Structure 1
Amino acid sequence: MIIKAIAIDDESPALELLRKFVENVPFVHLEKTFTDPKEGLKYVFDHQPDLIFLDINMPALSGLEVAKIIQPLGKSFIFTTAHSDFAIQSYELQALDYLLKPFSFERFLTALNRAFQEIVRKKGEETSVFIKDSYDWVRVNLNEINFIKSDGNLLFIHTKTKTLSTRMTIPEILAILPKESMMRIHKSYVINLREVEKLEKHQVTIDHQTIPVANSHRESLENRLLKKS
């Protein structure tokens, strides 16, 4: 699935940076960019893109106002702004993310993976994400993940068929994983609850591999596995 996106920002350099970032993401196509929010709004209603990147401080019509107008359409949008003052309003409007300029490509990719999950959920399609494994982009079905291990600056994603490495943090990967099946059980490990074969006092077994369980996560892990909560 390719996400159809547009960007609305009254600053051309910001739009150019977005365009360069999107060029490195295989599952997003930036259809058009707009410096005039009214023109961007018309395009949204005429062409129904999946995702809108929105600046907030713009003349004539703010990004918050644009979001309120398109909200009945059920469109996904991400705010991109240099101002931190509007974070609360953005979440009240159900923005998928709030990117504070200047943001890195890694932070941008985290937001896009979150958007991908939300959009495929709305469309009822298979849940997967693209992970950068060394120099290649690889689509990973989230249901195929057994567990994830953090080691220094890398995450090692162990699936049913292969192991991928990527430069992400555990909080970043947790933001795009399905919460009903994935759980952090240790500072260095996230597991797929559906793949647990055995639960012991200080460890679990998945695919014949033992994974440590931190004391602080033991009770909540047991509750979730035994469906007590």
Structure 2
Amino acid sequence: MKAKALLIDDEQPNLDNLQALLQTYCPQIDVCGTALNVEAAKRLLYVHQPDLLFLDIQMPGQNGFDLLRSLSTYNFDVIFVTAYDQYAIQALRFAAVDYLLKPVAIDELQAAVERAHKQRQLKEQNQLLQNLMHVLKAGHQQAEQRVALATAKETRFVKIGEIIRCESSNNYTTFYLTDGETLLVCKPIYAYDDLLKEYGFIRCHQSHLVNKQFVKSWKKDYGDFLLLADGSEVPISRAKKDDLKKALRL
């Protein structure tokens, strides 16, 4: 059975192009309607009850985030389609919500549609959108900001202030939390480097990212190590020493 999709963008050529791409390369999608603004989108949401929204963020008047804020429930998946916007994309990455950059690449479109299909099967997207709204509301308040961490069994929403450190293992990253719990996440550590940098996280080693609020001391017994509040010792690479001293104001 095909998934019903609603396309929302304030520019008609963008809608036409996306609809053509979906019809040609994503046969599992049935486009049930298009909308040029939030008010039209609300009407079509009520009429069609779509499974999937392709939603532009930057629109005059009310934007894509405003549309989601106006809804009480999310009975659909969302793929954001947007031009580059650092704040918006940062929020989407924190919430682990899917997005495509304009102009839309065919392979990325197909991959996003497939992920949306899997998320719909897991009934996971409601939580992702709810967390996106939380991220947007929290802004840059570290104590309130949450990041979505996808493990093999679930997606966890963890406050940034509860993360002590991250450790890389090939294409996986282990998160060490203040309550002693560890989470193995199916993404490499570099995916979280830029994401967490502005919240006080420091890349002290190729395989290690630490929250500087939990750094207790810099040890120099047998090489250089950071001693953290949970008792763990994290190595400092020679290449990261200068940057680390600046970050710790040493």
TM-score, normalised with respect to structure 2: 0.55
Residue 121 of structure 1 is aligned with which of 138, 156, 169? 138
Amino acid at match of 1:211: V
Identity over aligned residues, as a percent? 19
When Rg is computed on C-alpha atoms for both structures, the one with the higher figure is 2
Q: Is the 8 A contact 2:205 2:235 kept in 1?
A: yes
Aligned length: 183
Alpha carbons 1:79, 1:95 under 8 Å: kept: no
> CA 1:146–1:34 in 2, change beyond 3 Å: closer, same or farther?
farther
Q: Which residue of 2 aligns with 1:67?
A: 58
CA contact (8 A) 1:116 1:129 kept: no
- How many angstroms apart in 2 are the aligned matches of 1:160 and 1:94? 28
Secondary structure of the corresponding residue to residue 198 of structure 1 = strand
Alignment match of 1:151 (pick from 169, 175, 180): 169
**Are the structure 2 counterparts of residues 140 and 72 from structure 1 closer, same or farther at C-alpha, using a change threshold of 3 Å?**
closer
Q: Which runs of 5+ in 1 are unaligned?
A: 1-5, 21-32, 55-62, 82-89
Q: C-alpha distance in 1, partners of 2:177/2:151?
A: 13
Does the aligned pair in 1 maintain the 2:215–2:226 contact within 8 Å?
A: yes
* Counterparts of 1:92 and 1:98, CA distance in 2: 12
Let me know the Cα RMSD of the aligned residues.
4.4
The within-5 A match list for 1:79-228 is 80=81, 90-91=83-84, 95-96=88-89, 98-99=100-101, 100-103=105-108, 104=111, 118-122=135-139, 126-161=144-179, 162-177=181-196, 179-201=198-220, 202-206=224-228, 207-226=230-249
Q: Which residue of 2 aligns with 1:11?
A: 19
Moved over 6 A (4+): 71-74, 106-109
What is the SS of the residue equivalent to 2:198?
A: coil
Query: What SS class does the counterpart of residue 91 from structure 1 fall into?
Result: coil
- Residues in 2 aligned to 1:146 and 1:93: alpha-carbon distance in whole angstroms: 26
Which whole-Å CA distance do the structure 2 matches of 1:70 and 1:212 have between them? 50
Contact 1:148-1:156 within 8 A present in 2 as well: yes
- Range with greater deviation from structure 2 (155-164 or 93-102): 93-102
Q: Output the amino acid matched with 1:204.
A: L
